[in-house]
Chain A
Amino acid sequence: MSLLDLFRFSSHALLQNRRRSALSLLGVVIGVVAVTSLTAIGEGALRFVTDQFASLGTSIVIISPGKNETTGGIPLGIGGIPNDLTLRDTIVLERRIQAVRTAVPISVSTGTISHLERDRQVPIIGATAEFARLQQLEMAMGSFLPEGELDRGASVVVLGHIVARELFTSQNPLGSRVRIGGWRMRVIGVLKERGTQLGMQVDESVFIPTATGMRMANKSSVNRIMVELLPRSVPEDAIAEIKRILIERHDEEDFTCISQDAVMSSLASILGILTMVVAGIASVSLAVAGIGIMNVMLVSVSERTDEVGLLKAVGATGRQILAIFLLEAAMLSFAGGLLGLVLGTALVLLGNALYPAVDAATPLWAIGAVMALSLGTGVVFGVLPAWRASRLDPVAALQGH
């Protein structure tokens, strides 16, 4: 029996009983739709997070004061008091490490900004000119913070989109004076609307030079140092060097370095595991679908007992009969898999059209796995009915038993 004839014979039998074939592959369709759409959502979420990080720049190291470490015992002497990060640290890092493109000292505080009779509580971010590039901030009007000496704090401010709208409504804020705390500042720029981003409400913040921010808060230290690495540098090496220099300056490791890469890769692996788990749960439904196929094939075998007897009488071997029924089960489940893939993809595309923020797409490995799984389901659950058919006693089968 040639392979082509085998396919022809089995598909002919399936097409002859369309409704039952369709119903039995429905289970597979549902399972495959579940796997394709759920992995697509997982992949979309991963991409969303990755994009968010990419918009922050991936080769950024953030240094914060204090050590994330559990220590035991009572600290002896004065060695336990952490040194703060300073503007000087920033300058040294930028000058002494080749891999560092820029180092931005950041101070964070909150305060009240007022213009005429309107005022508003806002986060006040002290930063430098490079901050706009690192955060990919875009200007609606005016310009971002001026370049220049780190410790020369000018009395200028850049407003987030919402802040500008709330304080100035339809007026042009450029050049206007606002008060922040007790300080009079000149508005030099307004940011474009940004929307929510991981960890920072850009639209509701105001930006001033770091030195100004430190003076306003009466502090000599900064809250963070944001270090941008050169594109071709190795983050691990750069971090090692940053640590070495800061330890040299502080006499101890009283700070924490976090690279954006590390955060992103751990987030990505969490999302990846989550996707696998969800896909695994969804593929359990494929096993259920397999039982449906087995059931239908068993019914089919018992309905076609007479046919099986005849096939044996005209010279079919047990193996040929096994192959015929096994192929029917495999074709059922594979057709269900294909249909599920098409429907699942359609569902994903529909979802993308409705929620453009998440660019969901079923990953290739999931497509391959789900097709292999649905085919395998048919084969595994088709074995029993096909084996039963192949073992039928021809005399009894021809008598309709």
Chain B
Amino acid sequence: MIRVEDLWRTYLMGDHELHALRNVSEEIADGEYVAIMGPSGSGKSTLLNIVGCLDSPSRGRYFLAGEDVADFDEDALAETRLRRIGFIFQSFHLVPRLNSLQNVELPMIFAGIPLGERRVRAESALAAVDLTDRIEHKPNELSGGEKQRVAIARATIMGPGLLLADEPTGNLDTRSGARVLDLLGDLHRQGRTLIVVTHDPAVARRADRVVVMRDGEIAKRVKGTDIGDVASLFEFENLTEPAES
């Protein structure tokens, strides 16, 4: 279970403070599928980065499976990112010089898993996202949808219980986006907790629950199926705006 309490994230911009998160408290149960929506700069990515142990809050507490993450030292944070969390990014973040197989292998290198086992596991992870024939391809030889599927294989390779996706379909056309969402849905059904940051109501609609943020605060919590109402409720001019990077 994920629990954040009274979370603040403050950046100093010159001599005035910018609050990316204000007083955010939320609980996400194991196995839940949550979408975080909100306009650009509403703090949704910041929240995701804190939940993903990439960033730490200026104030407030974050409990991951009951443990206070503030107690984690740098190695423990890296270990958490390695084994318990899988990240999927809007711009894929594949290492350009490495082919699909090597990109999927990356986390296993840092986990110290031997080469032979890495190969086998990476190959089967790529087969699971239907990319067996793209194993030797470098990122620049792959389509956007294929890149995101490689990234999903990489995010799941260490078997994390928590998947975090930041605008996973933001750079994809509708069809490849749908395919990526199907894959994420499958991963959720296998028992993983899934948190997706998105602008897209079509994406959010698949979630069990939608958390709507504005100005660093949680403005509304609704069911995924009720997303249509949310859109009208908040007059989401951003629903059609270009994806944030």
Contact = CB atoms under 8 A, between A and B. Distances in A.
Interface string B81-115: 11100010100010101100000001101111011
Nearest to B82: A315
Given A312-B81, A316-B78, A12 B97 contact: yes
A313 B81 contact: yes
A313 B83 contact: no
B97 A16 contact: yes
B49 A314 contact: no
Q: How large is the interface on A (under 10, 10 to 19, 20 to 34, 35 or more residues)?
A: 20 to 34
B75 interface: yes
Nearest to B97: A16
Contacts of B111: 315
A315 B81 contact: yes
B245 interface: yes
A2 B105 CA distance: 14
Contacts of B89: 398
A143 to B, nearest CB: 79
A307 interface: yes
A315 B97 contact: no
B140 to A, nearest CB: 13
B114 A314 contact: no
A1 B112 contact: yes
B54 A315 contact: no
Interface centre among A13, A313, A315 (most CB of B within 10 A): A315
A91 interface: no
A315 B245 contact: no
Contacts of A309: 93
B79 A315 contact: yes
Nearest to B94: A310
B43 interface: no
A121 B83 CA distance: 96
Contacts of A204: none
Contact of A307 (B78, B95, B245): B95
A315 B158 contact: yes
B55 interface: yes
A118 B97 CA distance: 85
B54 A317 contact: no
B173 interface: no
A318 B75 CA distance: 8
A317 B110 contact: yes
A314 B54 contact: no
Contact of A1 (B79, B83, B110): B110
A394 interface: yes
B106 A314 contact: yes
A395 B82 contact: no
Contacts of A313: 52, 54, 81, 87, 93
A306 interface: yes
A61 B85 CA distance: 85
Given A313-B81, A315-B82, A317-B78, A1 B109 contact: yes
Interface of B: 49, 52, 54-55, 74-75, 78-79, 81-83, 87, 89, 93, 95, 97-98, 106-107, 109-112, 114-115, 154, 158, 245
Given A314-B81, A314-B154, A316-B110, 11 more contacts: A5-B112, A5-B115, A13-B97, A313-B93, A314-B107, A314-B110, A315-B78, A315-B110, A317-B75, A317-B110, A395-B49
11 contacts: A2-B114, A12-B98, A306-B93, A307-B95, A313-B87, A314-B106, A316-B78, A317-B74, A320-B110, A398-B54, A398-B89
Interface of A: 1-2, 4-5, 9, 12-13, 16, 306-307, 309-318, 320, 394-395, 398-399
